[in-house]
Copies of this chain bind each other. A is one copy, B any other.
Amino acid sequence: MKKILIVGLGLIGGSIAKGLTKKGYEIYALDKNVDTIKYAKKNKIIVDGFTDNIEYIKNFDRIIFSLYPKTFVDYIKKNNKFIKEGAIVTDVTGVKTKIVKEIQNLLKSKAEFIPMHPMAGKEKYGIKNADEKIFENANCIITPTRKNTKKGIDFAKKIARDLNFRKVSMLSIEKHDEMIAFLSQLTHCIAVALMVCNKSDKLVDYTGDSFRDLTRIANINEDMWTELFLMNKKYLIKEMNEFIESFEKLKKSIEKEDTKEMKKLMRISTKRRKKFDKE
């Protein structure tokens, strides 16, 4: 079971390929870009791969889809028939509620889809920037549904462990999407909104490290994140509203020069933030 097909050799798919190849897996790939396949073969990231040979999927008992959310769903709709009976399939998609049930329904009882979300990335794209080390300090969330089996879950866990994730957790698809709305999507929205303010264009010369840290994620892949935001709209809008409420509370305390309230909010912030420091 160490022979795996990866569909989509972008930054994440490529990093998974690199990491698993180093752990002795035999990795094959499908990607729409011929240069990507050539590069991956030449650099021994994969054993072999194709751009157009869809039927190739038939040969694999284990498949990792590393595609944008919509592309992933469309791909399964179109190529479901080529997936091998009894195969176990996983993914890397950053939203779950909107896609997991659809994929599981499409696959029916033929193959098992065990959803996974490696919470890793960087602000660069493509196989050439692939690096298995991005997983080392990151969390991997596995989000099984009632349709999953122990065998499927164990496959996802094994992949995550072999990729050296710092932590592997299990969450329901709903809890996952709520968590991701707050920790990842809301923070990307904040960074984007900050960069869209006119001032950010004029103050580059004075920018310090804390502003740089805060806006690093403002360098954003608009196609992927537009899909992710819309697929998680319900939870994201809720978190955006909660953030606005919290921000307005702080603003009001400053306007009213209510130093007691200001200090209270800062003490809560400091106390909570300290829990986030790694040992």
**Interface set of A (CB-CB < 8 Å, partner B):** 119-120, 137-139, 141, 167, 169, 179, 182-184, 186-201, 203-220, 222-223, 225-226, 229-230, 233, 236-237, 239-240, 242-244, 246-251, 254-255, 257, 259, 262-263, 265-270, 272-276, 278
Contacts and interface: CB of A to CB of B under 8 A. Distances in A.
A73 to B, nearest CB: 17
Majority SS of interface residues in chain A? helix
A190 B190 CA distance: 8
Scoring A184, A186, A208, A220 by chain B CB atoms within 10 A of each residue's CB, the highest score goes to: A208
A218 B251 CA distance: 15
10 contacts: A138-B208, A179-B203, A184-B208, A189-B247, A191-B214, A199-B242, A201-B275, A207-B276, A213-B213, A220-B269
A196 B263 contact: no
Contact of A250 (B193, B199, B239): B193
A216 B213 contact: yes
A265 B107 CA distance: 37
Given A266-B222, A270-B219, A276-B204, A210 B187 contact: yes
B138 A189 contact: no
Given A204-B275, A215-B276, 4 more contacts: A119-B208, A183-B207, A194-B246, A204-B276
Contacts of A195: 268-269, 272-273
Contacts of A212: 276, 278
| 5 nearest A-B residue pairs (beta carbon) | A222-B266, A193-B247, A195-B269, A218-B273, A213-B213
A240 B253 CA distance: 13
B214 A217 contact: yes
Contact of A197 (B179, B236, B242, B254): B242
A223 B263 contact: yes
A244 B243 CA distance: 10
Contacts of A273: 191, 195, 215-216, 218-219
A199 B249 contact: no
A211 B119 CA distance: 11
Given A208-B138, A255-B237, A243 B194 contact: yes
A194 B190 contact: yes
A263 B210 contact: no
A250 B195 CA distance: 12
Given A219-B273, A230-B254, A263-B226, A183 B209 contact: no
